[in-house]
Amino acid sequence: MWKNRVKIGEPLQLTWELRNISDNTVWIPGDVSIANEFAEISVTKPTSEEVPMPPYVKKCDSAFFIEMKPGDKLAASHQLYWSTQGFAFDTPGKYSVNLEISWRSRGATVGKRASIDVFVDYPVTERENAIIAHMLNDEVGKYIALGGHAYHLKAAVEHIKTVIKLHKDHPASKALTKLYDAQ
């Protein structure tokens, strides 16, 4: 499931799935999320610059492999918003979100690539500009990258409270309410 249009400042929920379409059982990573680094996401910006979006939190030494029977599926997801390389969507325009899943098996690289186009809407009101000013903040980026509920990031919490208060129906506010419990 992909959303092809977002408001600037709105996180994009990505979900992907691998399916064994062969007639044989194959060995694959048991977790194809970016945290285990079998999946990599990059964003091609409107300027044509491709920016890698590495995970903010990595799962160290937790990789494992499973036998996948013909027809079996394995899914993973990621909230694309911010990484140590910056914001995924920091200006309006057309972006490409690129996903590559790969691993080594019997001396060969195995995997799959996919890409989707996403259009980031231009802000049209002063209220949207105010929301963006709060959302495009590194502390808010870290908060979202940590999966939310990172209340130790005090500046992020203040920005998030303000965004939710400013415009509870804005897509960015709706995304934040899933990651923030008013305390």
Residue 101 covered by a domain: yes
Residue 47 covered by a domain: yes
Residue 182 covered by a domain: no
pLDDT at 100: 97
- With 0-12 / 13-18 / 19 or more C-beta atoms within 10 angstroms meaning exposed / middle / buried, residue 140 is buried
Residue 68 covered by a domain: yes
Residue for token pair 């990573």: 29
One-character DSSP codes across 63-94: --EEEE-TT-EEEEEEEESEETTEES--SSEE
Residue 103 covered by a domain: yes
Kindly report whether the global pTM for this prediction surpasses the value 0.75. yes
Tens-digit pLDDT string for the chain (183 aa): 467 999 888 999 999 999 999 999 999 999 999 999 999 999 999 999 999 999 998 887 888 999 999 999 999 999 999 999 999 999 999 999 999 999 988 788 888 999 999 999 988 888 888 888 899 999 999 999 999 999 999 999 999 999 888 888 888 888 888 888 865
Total tally of structural domains belonging to the chain: 1
Containing structural domain, residue 50: 5-177
pLDDT at 165: 87
Output DSSP code: residue 137. Answer: -
Residue 183 covered by a domain: no
pLDDT at 2: 61
Residue 48 covered by a domain: yes
